[in-house]
């Protein structure tokens, strides 16, 4: 496989939205977002849009096959919890079925939650698998359903997760919307960003989703499942437009915008992050390497003008245009109470967002 | 995009396994399968291999992007429960993080299990989101952790799911192994099939996984993440070898083998199913259309020789080579106790598998 220039058109953000179909659920989704933002604005809360999980690129109109980007959604789901803890309202825009705040502690795990539930009464000794089955046609038991409880070993952790979950729901500070395809993601991002612009500098973007760089325009999609009998498969994809550009310059110029760069080759991480800041003019790029992303990340940001010009001993020193801020945690964490790097990332971002709000 | 013949080699099953890398976890996985089968053989149980979920095709060695096949794993996870209910031992070979028997009732759902858990003691009135948080640095509470229980509304259903789950685990009749890539799937399928051959006709295959028809040979994979700055993306994929052929003719000739055909164009379903039976010589193809697969499927199978030759009134009638057996359920099912089509599919297959065992 290869990346090659070919004959088809290049999409700008503008031409993308003019030619690609608006998702049917967009209006209903945005109505919910609008109400949520209005409520948070009245409560004077900062609002962060956390995007999370990978986007798909369908290869067929009746989707059987698709291109996907690797992401379980761990970064986004974990970060959302720390934003909530800090008092932010969170719009959690995630890939359908990817990890979510709170339930992430019991998903995608080799320890499914059924394992730590206990039935209070002992099973009757005549019980068989057949009669125990959910959809058994046996008459319903005449005795009341026994109580179901959580095993002692799991109770302390589940209690704290559950308490936080219920507190957040009681406060109404978490709003969930989901996407599957990169097309749904792009339409949602634009619409949510426009809604968030009423928040001015109190709006933050934490764009942790793994968004495809390539897509297949609707106009070139195969209607039915591609048949395999006809030989090998050849796919030509177009570049997804660089969506940070209109986000920064048009949709919400006052927002505090954090984007992510994931690479498998650590040597190109910082140059690529600087290139993105140069091109789009936003506030922070978080660079992470696929293999160390849980223990080490780097925040790249433009150096403020005043700092860049400051003198030492009266001599004008050349200052770097971009500052690097490394965050690392020990890879060996105790399994019962691991430190999560997202805690430190969010702490640093909150300081910077506060400075951004005060700098208005 | 298109399917086009191109210059690269065509892989037979043999050349595939000679050139593509064996997954590092294969030997450990097969050791577990070997022990499981030995135990079931001693207990004189029939064993079914249920494959479930989609396979990926990585586009890079350090995987960021991959091609995927649409499948949540509903068919496989649901069917596995009905096989278990009927007394079969089940090897559940599934895509990592796809739906699993029993926990499927509470996964991929808009009703996460945290919603139906209740904390017995009321929250102290001073509780805030901050102090409620899992990783809060507050001192541990001096009072014992309160009991956590299941809400009354959910208790009856959860009780029956949990009872079946615990009964199956007590009997040791469910064995889980997982795959991600199509390469892992193919290596596992071959190794598990060879292990199952000791079961003779008591071995059944229920191949519900959505397996990619195309793959990228290891030798052509890009080492690092493909850079998007260089233009559009062009991917050329080879055909995955038809693995049913060696499964039927070499790995386990006595097994009762059920494969699946999923199409989005219902008109080609039956011809394609017949073509598969013709080509591989196995027992049943279950045909399903993407949009109606939860309510209507068709079992296609070869008509036995004796039946094909039978006479009516002494006249030799031409008999069809393949029989169709339709299974349908009402699409309008009560949400609190829906009938699942897998119940009827498994019931029919069990009859046929019994006849297959007796026909030895």
Alpha helices, H only, chain A? 13-19, 26-42, 74-85, 129-132, 152-171, 182-196, 244-246, 269-280, 305-309, 341-358
Residue A95, Cβ density class (10 Å: 0-12 exposed, 13-18 middle, ≥19 buried): buried
Contact A64 B66 (CB under 8 A): no
**Which string of DSSP letters, residue by residue, matches B27-84?**
HHHHHHHHHHHHHHHHTT--EEEEEESBPEEESBSS-SEEEEE---SHHHHHHHHHHH
Least confident of A346-355, B136-145, B223-232, B259-268: B136-145
> What is the mean pLDDT of the segment spanning B48-76?
90
Q: How many CB pairs under 8 A join A and B?
A: 303
Per residue in A230-260, pLDDT (tens digit) is 677 888 889 999 999 999 999 999 999 999 9
Q: In DSSP terms, which residues pair with B256 in a beta bridge?
A: B204
Residue A60, helix vs strand vs coil: strand
- Cα–Cα distance, B129 to A167 (Å, whole number): 6
Of A204-208, B132-136, B145-149, B202-206, the least confident: B132-136
- pLDDT given at position B291: 87
Percent of chain A with pLDDT over 90: 60
List for chain B the helix, strand, coil content (%; round to 5).
Answer: 40, 25, 35
Annotate A303-345 with three-state secondary structure.
CCHHHHHCEECCEECCCCCEEEEEEECCCCCCCCCCCCHHHHH
Q: Is B279 on the interface with A (CB under 8 A)?
A: no
Q: How far apart are CA B101 and CA B173, in angstroms?
A: 12
pLDDT of residue B29: 97
Contact call for B62 and A157, based on CB within 8 A: no
**Residue position matching structure tokens 């196995």:** B282
Confirm if A108 and A129 have CB atoms less than 8 A apart: no
Neighbours of A154 (CB within 10 A): 16
Position A8 scores a pLDDT of 53
Q: Could you tell me the two tokens for B44?
A: 């004189």
Q: For CA atoms B133, B137, B138, B140, give the dihedral sign.
A: positive
Domains and CATH numbers, chain B: 1-107+144-254 (3.40.50.10300), 259-360 (no CATH)
Residues near A257 by beta carbon (within 8 Å), at least 6 away in sequence: A204, A205, A207, A244, A247, A248, A282, A283, A284
Please choose, from the candidates A82, A23, A72, A81, the residue with its C-alpha nearest in 3D space to the C-alpha of residue A52. A72
Which member of B68, B145, B214 has the closest CB to residue A159? Answer: B145
Q: Which of residues 211-250 of A touch B (CB under 8 A)?
A: 212-214, 216, 220-228, 230-239
B264 closest CB neighbour out of A62, A133, A213: A62
B14: part of which helix (H) or strand (E)?
Answer: helix B13-19
B300 close to B285: Cβ distance less than 8 angstroms = yes
Least confident of A69-78, A139-148, A171-180, B150-159: A139-148
Q: Among candidates A180, A177, A160, which has minimal Cα distance to A168?
A: A160
Looking at residue B249, its pLDDT comes to 93
Q: Among B64, B81, B173, whose Cβ lies nearest the Cβ of A290?
A: B64
Query: What are B282-318's pLDDT values in tens digits?
Result: 999 999 998 889 999 999 999 976 554 555 566 666 6
Residue A121 has a pLDDT of 63
In chain A, the residue whose alpha carbon lies closest to the alpha carbon of B88 is A129
Question: What are the structure tokens assigned to B288, written together?
Answer: 């399903």
List the single best residue of B105, B114, B123, B211 to mutate versus A (max A Cβ within 10 A).
B114
pLDDT for residue A5 is more than 80? no
For residue A38, name the pLDDT band (cuts at 50, 70, 90): very high
Residue B3 pLDDT > 50:
no
B194 vs A134, higher pLDDT = B194
Average pLDDT over residues A170-183: 96
DSSP A24: T
Tokens of A125: 């000794």
Q: What DSSP assignment string belongs to B270-284?
A: HHHHHHHHHHH--SE
Greater pLDDT, B150 or A284: A284
- Mean pLDDT score, A276-296: 94
Instruction: State both tokens at A255.
Output: 């927002």
Which H helix or E strand runs over B312?
strand B311-312
Within 8 A of B73 by CB-CB distance, chain A residues are none
Average pLDDT, integer, range A92-98 = 94
- Per-residue pLDDT, averaged over A327-337, amounts to 87
Mean pLDDT, chain B, rounded, equals 86
Q: B-chain residues within 8 Å CB-CB of A233?
A: 1, 3, 213-214, 235-237, 239
A150, A146, A151, A153: which is closest to A122 by C-alpha?
Answer: A146
């Amino acid at each position: 496989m290869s990346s090659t220039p070919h004959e088809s058109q290049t999409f700008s953000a503008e031409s993308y939205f003019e030619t690609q179909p608006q998702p049917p659920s967009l209006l209903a989704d945005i109505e919910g977002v609008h109400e949520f933002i209005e409520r948070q604005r009245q409560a004077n809360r900062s609002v962060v849009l956390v995007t999370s999980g990978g986007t798909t690129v369908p290869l067929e109109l009746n989707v059987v096959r698709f291109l996907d980007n690797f992401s379980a959604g761990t970064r986004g789901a974990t970060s959302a919890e720390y934003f909530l803890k800090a008092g932010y309202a969170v719009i959690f825009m995630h890939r359908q079925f990817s990890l979510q705040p709170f339930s992430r502690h019991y998903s995608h795990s080799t320890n499914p939650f059924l394992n730590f539930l206990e039935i209070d009464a002992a099973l009757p000794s005549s019980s068989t698998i057949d009669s125990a089955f959910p959809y058994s046609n046996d008459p319903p038991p005449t005795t009341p359903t026994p109580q179901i409880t959580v095993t002692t070993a799991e109770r302390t952790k589940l209690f704290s997760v559950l308490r936080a979950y219920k507190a957040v729901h009681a406060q109404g500070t978490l709003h969930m919307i989901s996407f599957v395809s990169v097309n749904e993601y792009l339409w949602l991002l634009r619409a949510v960003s426009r809604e968030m612009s009423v928040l001015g500098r109190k709006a933050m973007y934490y764009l942790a989703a793994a968004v495809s760089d390539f897509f297949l325009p609707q106009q070139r999609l195969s209607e039915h499942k591609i048949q395999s009998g006809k030989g090998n498969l050849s796919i030509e994809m177009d570049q997804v437009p660089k969506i940070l550009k209109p986000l920064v310059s048009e949709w919400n110029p006052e927002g505090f915008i954090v984007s992510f760069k994931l690479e498998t080759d650590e040597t190109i991480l910082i140059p690529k992050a600087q290139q993105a800041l140069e091109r789009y003019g936003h506030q922070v790029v978080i660079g992470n390497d696929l293999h160390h992303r849980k223990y080490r990340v780097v925040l790249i940001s433009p150096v403020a003008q005043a700092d860049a010009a400051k003198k030492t001993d009266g001599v004008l020193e050349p200052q770097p245009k971009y500052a690097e801020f490394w965050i690392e945690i020990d890879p060996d964490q105790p399994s019962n109470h691991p430190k999560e790097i997202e805690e430190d990332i969010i702490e640093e971002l909150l300081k910077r967002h506060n400075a951004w709000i005060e700098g208005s």
